[in-house]
Amino acid sequence: MRQPARKFQDLTVWQKAHQFVLAVYRITSRFPKTEIYGLTSQLRRSAVSIPANIAEAFKKRGKGDKSRFLNIAQGSLEESRYYLLLTQDLGYCESQQILEQIEEVSKLLEAYCRSIRKSNP
């Protein structure tokens, strides 16, 4: 049996989301400079929001608060997924690998949300 997480960095979902952010920064550094205030900024912000909201949810006491922040992370994840599809369609990058990464984070985040909902108050 796994030990309960003592800090948000112990959460696998946070670790994978953080790795996703690092990958986003790597790929967006190669985007056209004309996108610096557009797509580059939007994708980075939505990506960073995922682990940031997981971290914030970690310290919230009630299920409702935790669930709200995790839901914000899920929304940011879907926003990021769209931006990645758009960047691929615009020819800025081949995003298959990073889309696989975001899918893994999505599944972990959904499982984490379910475990929070099922936990005792």
Rounded to whole angstroms, how far apart are CA atoms 10 and 108? 14
pTM score of the predicted model: 0.94
How much of the chain, in percent, has pLDDT values that exceed 90? 86
CATH superfamily of 11-118: 23S rRNA-intervening sequence (1.20.1440.60)
35-49: pLDDT as tens digits: 999 999 999 999 999
**Inter-residue contact 79 to 51 (CB < 8 Å):** no
**pLDDT reported for residue 94:** 87
CB 50 within 8 A of CB 20: yes
State the pLDDT at residue 48.
98
Q: Are 81 and 101 in contact, with CB atoms under 8 Å apart?
A: no
**Residue closest to 55 by CA, chosen among 100, 107, 15:** 15
| Alpha-carbon 119 to chain mean position | 23
